[in-house]
């Protein structure tokens, strides 16, 4: 006689065995069961939660999330009868945002009726996104996926390489990883590799002993030593001179280094995070970046998405930036719907940094504290940056015979913009670098790259 499993199992005892939140939801979005972890997270008792709408409890919303334009696991599971995973923002019992991964699965009752079984895995709480008075903000799928990837990477000590265009917030991302790691209570030391000349790079990184070079009158700790026990962030790692890449590799390979002019081997107990806007693989092929160093720093490679790939985040970013950037009277500027639409239709080659600069200027020139499309002055860049995805912008560019093709490479766009700034500032490189928010050394490298050294009067000294 074949064995038949006749064990009667209580559903509540099963879901309570999970340390993560778990909830069972019917076809009408009503919660029929929830475990203790779920009730605790959302501040509601197990007796009160049955019959509550799932979107009301976790989203604090009056309608299901798919009606707010989100990817809804309830709709997907009930439509397909197959498992579905999403990244969402929930609100905990303190009404604080929490980034979570939701794994939704079909669950069947004894009568064959379909339910949604939803397991909830926390990724990052609201306060973990705050880094040095700045916050990583967004709800777009690409942003949420990046947050999850960085949260996972933070749990190990493997070197991380952050890839991304200028202005996407790579240093803020590095600080987030540090804050999520076991080293969070230890120092976070940032090094801008573009701001340190080749002649003093070794001394800055490794430190030096007294008499190591002419004019050296005492011992100095290097930045690696300053980061001991914590995180060392090397921004724009592609700018490290080829001759010095070997010394950096040795530290990463062996964990030991010496101060300049020293004989003692020092142990480097640091987690290394590097960032670049360059294509390091291409640099390896061209012989300008060591292959062995690349593979050492790219243990985990994460790409920070550009702002044009997360347009849905522009409106909340604008709101947050205006809150921080109050006018001289202390009043937060307001912005029109038309201005928001204009920003959402712009490509932002300078990403978050450019958005911040645009808003700062708009606040400064808005006498009544109300920002319209005219105050944004996006038309100043319309002949340089063209958004092929926005119909209203295409309609404008069709009327401009001198508008460049939307097929231009990013390098061509950048070169044209730098050249226009050089003419605008009469060749004053310091002012151009300041407006671009880059160092003069980086600007000089770009001028050489695009053969723009002789544009304007070629001045560099500040007035």
pLDDT digits (tens, 9 = 90+) for 106-126: 999 888 899 999 999 988 876
Residue 421 makes CB contacts below 8 A (sequence gap 6+) with 432, 435, 436
pLDDT at 187: 95
141-160 average pLDDT score: 93
The rounded percent of the chain whose pLDDT value lies above 70 is 83
Q: Which of 97, 104, 142 is nearest to 123 (CA)?
A: 97
How far apart CA 457 and CA 78 sit, in angstroms, is 67
Lowest mean pLDDT among 191-205, 309-323, 390-404: 390-404
Looking at every residue in the chain, the average pLDDT score rounds to 82
Torsion angle (degrees, nearest 10) of CA 234, 240, 245, 251: -20
Q: How confident is the model at residue 307 (pLDDT cuts 50, 70, 90)?
A: very high
Q: How confident is the model at residue 95 (pLDDT cuts 50, 70, 90)?
A: confident
pLDDT at 395: 35
How far apart CA 37 and CA 39 sit, in angstroms, is 6
Q: Residue 40: pLDDT above 50?
A: yes
Rounded to two decimals, the pTM is 0.69
How far apart CA 267 and CA 276 sit, in angstroms, is 26
Higher-scoring residue by pLDDT: 423, 374: 374
Is the Cβ–Cβ distance between 276 and 159 less than 8 Å? Answer: no
Written as six digits, the tokens of 103 are 């794994």
Enclosing H/E stretch for 351: helix 351-365
How far apart CA 391 and CA 383 sit, in angstroms, is 16
Question: Phi and psi (nearest 5°) for 260?
Answer: -60, 125
Is the Cβ–Cβ distance between 350 and 380 less than 8 Å? Answer: no
Strand ranges for 8-144 from DSSP E: 21-25, 31-34, 84-91, 97-108, 114-125, 130-131, 134-135
Strand ranges for 179-304 from DSSP E: 188-192, 207-208, 220-221, 231-235, 256-257, 266-267, 271-276, 300-303
Q: How confident is the model at residue 96 (pLDDT cuts 50, 70, 90)?
A: confident
DSSP string, 259-292: -BT----EE---EEEEEESS-HHHHHHHTSS-HH
Is the Cβ–Cβ distance between 260 and 207 less than 8 Å? Answer: yes
Lowest mean pLDDT among 49-63, 327-341, 398-412: 398-412
SS3 content of the chain, % helix, strand, coil (to 5): 40, 20, 40
Q: How confident is the model at residue 198 (pLDDT cuts 50, 70, 90)?
A: confident
Lowest mean pLDDT among 141-155, 273-287, 417-431: 417-431
389-401 average pLDDT score: 34
pLDDT at 30: 94
How far apart CA 130 and CA 137 sit, in angstroms, is 9
How far apart CA 16 and CA 156 sit, in angstroms, is 29
Exposed, middle or buried, 184 (CB in 10 Å: 0-12/13-18/19+)? Answer: middle
- Quickly list H helices, 105-194: 141-153, 170-180
Written as six digits, the tokens of 346 are 């712009």
315-344 average pLDDT score: 85
Exposed, middle or buried, 385 (CB in 10 Å: 0-12/13-18/19+)? Answer: buried
Question: Phi and psi (nearest 5°) for 12?
Answer: -60, -40
Higher-scoring residue by pLDDT: 394, 96: 96
pLDDT at 348: 92
Strands 271-276 and 231-235 come out as: parallel
Is the Cβ–Cβ distance between 28 and 12 less than 8 Å? Answer: no
Residue 426 makes CB contacts below 8 A (sequence gap 6+) with 456, 457, 459
pLDDT at 411: 63
- What is the DSSP code (8-state) at residue 127? G
Domains of the chain by start residue, with CATH: 11-126 (3.30.450.20), 132-303 (3.40.50.300), 309-449 (1.10.8.60)
Q: Residue 173: pLDDT above 90?
A: yes
272-296 average pLDDT score: 95
Q: How confident is the model at residue 10 (pLDDT cuts 50, 70, 90)?
A: low
Residue 260 to residues 203, 207, 221, Cα–Cα distance (Å) = 6, 6, 10
Lowest mean pLDDT among 134-148, 389-403, 404-418: 389-403
Is the Cβ–Cβ distance between 137 and 129 less than 8 Å? Answer: yes
370-394 average pLDDT score: 57
Residue 70 to residues 67, 90, 315, Cα–Cα distance (Å) = 7, 12, 16
pLDDT digits (tens, 9 = 90+) for 347-376: 999 999 999 999 988 888 887 888 999 889
How far apart CA 393 and CA 354 sit, in angstroms, is 19
Q: Residue 402: pLDDT above 80?
A: no
22-29 average pLDDT score: 93
Exposure string (b/e) for 212-249, b if CB count within 10 Å is 16 or more? beeeeeeebebbbbebbebbbbbbbbbbbeeeebeebb
């Amino acid at each position: 006689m074949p064995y038949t499993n006749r064990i009667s199992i209580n559903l509540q005892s099963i879901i309570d065995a999970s340390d993560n939140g778990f909830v069972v939801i019917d076809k009408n979005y009503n919660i029929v069961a929830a475990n203790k972890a779920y009730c605790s997270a959302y501040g509601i008792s197990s007796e009160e939660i049955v019959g509550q709408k799932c979107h009301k409890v976790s989203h604090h919303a009056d309608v299901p999330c798919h009606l707010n334009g989100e990817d809804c696991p309830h709709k997907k599971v009930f439509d397909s009868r197959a498992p579905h995973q999403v990244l969402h923002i929930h609100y905990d019992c303190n009404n604080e945002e929490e980034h979570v991964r939701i794994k939704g699965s079909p669950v069947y009752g004894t009568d064959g009726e379909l339910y949604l079984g939803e397991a909830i895995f926390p990724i990052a709480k609201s306060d973990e996104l705050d880094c040095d008075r700045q916050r990583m903000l967004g709800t777009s799928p690409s942003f949420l996926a990046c947050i999850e990837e960085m949260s996972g990477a933070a749990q190990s000590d493997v070197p991380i390489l952050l890839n991304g265009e200028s202005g996407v917030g790579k240093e803020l991302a590095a600080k987030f990883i540090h804050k999520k790691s076991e080293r969070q209570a230890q120092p976070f030391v940032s090094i801008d590799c573009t701001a340190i000349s080749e002649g003093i790079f070794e001394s800055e990184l490794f430190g030096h002993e007294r008499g190591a070079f002419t004019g050296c009158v005492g011992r100095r700790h290097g930045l690696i030593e300053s980061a001991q026990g914590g995180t060392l962030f090397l921004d724009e790692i592609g700018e490290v001179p080829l001759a010095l890449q070997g010394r950096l590799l040795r530290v990463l390979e062996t964990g030991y280094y010496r101060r300049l002019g020293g004989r003692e081997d020092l142990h480097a107990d640091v987690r290394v995070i590097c960032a670049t806007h360059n294509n390091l693989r291409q640099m390896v092929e061209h012989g300008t970046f060591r292959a062995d160093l690349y593979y050492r720093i790219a243990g985990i490679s994460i790409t920070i998405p550009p702002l044009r790939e997360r347009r849905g985040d522009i409106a909340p970013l604008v709101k947050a930036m205006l809150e921080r950037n109050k006018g001289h009277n202390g009043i937060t500027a307001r912005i029109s719907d038309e201005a928001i639409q204009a920003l959402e239709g712009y490509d932002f080659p300078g990403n978050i940094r450019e958005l911040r600069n645009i808003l700062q200027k708009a606040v400064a020139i808005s006498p009544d504290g109300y920002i319209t499309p005219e105050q944004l002055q996006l038309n100043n860049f319309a002949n340089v940056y063209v958004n092929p995805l926005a119909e209203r912008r295409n309609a404008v560019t069709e009327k401009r015979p001198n508008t460049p093709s939307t097929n231009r490479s990013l390098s061509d766009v950048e070169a044209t913009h730098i050249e226009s700034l050089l003419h605008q500032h009469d060749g004053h490189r310091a002012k151009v670098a300041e407006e671009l928010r880059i160092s003069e050394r980086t600007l000089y490298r770009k001028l050489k790259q695009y053969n723009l050294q002789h544009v304007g009067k070629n001045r560099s000294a500040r007035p």
